[in-house]
Amino acid sequence: METLVTIERALEIVRQTAVAPATEWVSLSQAYNRILSEDIVSKVDDPPFDNSAMDGWAVRSTDPKRVEVGMTAAGTAPLKVGAGEAIRIMTGAPVPDGADAIVLIEDGLQGKAHTNFIRRQGENLTKETVALRRGQLMTPAAISMAATMGHATLPVRAKPRVAVISTGDELIAPGEELGAGTIYESNSYGLCALLEKIGCIPLLQEPVVDSMDALRTTLDSLDCDVILTSGGVSMGEFDHVRKLMEQEGNIHFWKVAMRPGGPPLFGTWNGTPLFGLPGNPVSSHLVFMMIVSPWLSPEIPLTHKVQVRLKDSVKGAPSKICLRRIQIFSEGGELVATTHTHQGSGNIHSMVAHNGVTLLPPDTSANADEIIDALWLL
């Protein structure tokens, strides 16, 4: 077990444990935000035939005079053009045999003939070409391309099933009456939303009380690809996730040199990857964004690295990278950042009120007007 690793080292360690869900086939209407598990080969040329890029007339470019002899539109069989003849043509219609140019409708029948207004068969894509690669995130444009290639269904990675467990005697379900010393359980709901955002299936579990036996029973009952726990990973008497993993699991690392979010652990429980996230909500969100998400679903980023000019001074953290919450916006042609709530790791409002975090190196603070690296939250 390694302790107090950098974020970069934590990523190296977790990437040694693969999550390899099976392939499943989905229709194009279900393919958005899915990830291809195989290369996709085009079944056709694109376009599949020469067609007009404009409304006008299909003509022979060498003819000095033309007479309209017919009309063609998209979805019809190609006609034929002879000497001095012109076929009225609509955008997307097959170019008649013998024609090599288009006269624009606005130029009139005797106008200039343009050879560059014909879309040639296969100029975008040729049959048997691999145009979508394994690992491709299926964006709206990629889905349209798959349809253009002739595919009605696609092979995609099955969504990883991730069990989400919060721990602690103090946790009460939202909507119930709070008692003495209790708080509403919130982490699991935010983590489930993050998992859905990166294309996973969250399996929300009932909170587990501070008991080694209860935690063991819950972990042993799970049927999932990954386990995500919240709370119980620090050095307290009731931090049972860490204790149980030390005694009966397999820990690969414990503690990361980041603030907030310092005490997470990663390992396996009966062969299933397990991330133990801190109990403080800001810490759990940031560890997820910095380590869990890039491992589980690197194709769907949650952050974008930028440089910002600070409008406020921000304090760093001793020996740890500091992730202060900041509001990033454009001003005067550059990105600037402010901060306007307190930065405690228990203050989830700081994640709502801001759209980014600083990337202050260890032992480094920054003054107003300095330019620093930051992450813009997507």
Digit-by-digit pLDDT tens for the chain (378 residues) are: 999 999 999 999 999 998 877 999 999 999 999 999 999 999 999 999 999 999 999 999 999 999 999 999 999 998 999 999 999 999 999 999 999 999 999 999 999 999 999 999 999 999 999 999 999 999 999 999 999 999 999 999 999 999 999 999 999 999 999 999 999 999 999 999 999 999 999 999 999 999 999 999 999 999 999 999 999 998 878 789 999 999 999 999 999 999 999 999 999 999 999 999 999 999 999 999 999 999 999 999 999 999 999 999 999 999 999 999 999 999 999 999 999 888 999 999 999 999 999 999 999 999 999 999 999 999
Verify that 175 and 265 share a domain, yes or no: yes
Q: Taking Cα atoms as reference points, which of 256, 244, 226 lies closest to residue 160?
A: 226
Verify that 114 and 195 share a domain, yes or no: no
Last residue of a domain, one of 281, 296, 311: 296
Last residue of a domain, one of 251, 276, 296: 296
CATH number, domain of 257, equals 3.40.980.10
Within a domain: 125: no
Verify that 17 and 30 share a domain, yes or no: no
Within a domain: 339: yes
Verify that 212 and 338 share a domain, yes or no: no
Between CA 83 and CA 60 the distance in angstroms is: 7
Phi-psi region of 33 (alpha: psi -120 to 50; beta: other; left: phi over 0): left
Contact 272, 161 (CB under 8 A): no
Count how many domains the chain has. Answer: 4
3-state secondary structure of 246: helix
Residue 155: predicted pLDDT = 98
Q: Taking Cα atoms as reference points, which of 345, 334, 333, 336 lies closest to residue 312?
A: 336
Within a domain: 128: no
Within a domain: 192: yes
CATH number, domain of 111, equals 2.170.190.11
Contact 321, 357 (CB under 8 A): no
Verify that 236 and 199 share a domain, yes or no: yes
Last residue of a domain, one of 237, 261, 296: 296
Between CA 119 and CA 141 the distance in angstroms is: 20
Within a domain: 221: yes
Verify that 289 and 316 share a domain, yes or no: no
Between CA 164 and CA 144 the distance in angstroms is: 35
Within a domain: 55: yes
Within a domain: 230: yes
Verify that 153 and 163 share a domain, yes or no: no
Verify that 226 and 291 share a domain, yes or no: yes
Which residues touch 118 (CB under 8 Å, ≥6 apart)? Answer: 50, 51, 52, 53, 95, 100, 101, 102
Verify that 163 and 152 share a domain, yes or no: no
Domain that holds residue 321: 303-377
Verify that 108 and 152 share a domain, yes or no: no
Verify that 200 and 241 share a domain, yes or no: yes
pTM for this prediction: 0.90
Within a domain: 324: yes
Verify that 335 and 245 share a domain, yes or no: no
What residues form DSSP beta bridges with 165?
Answer: 229
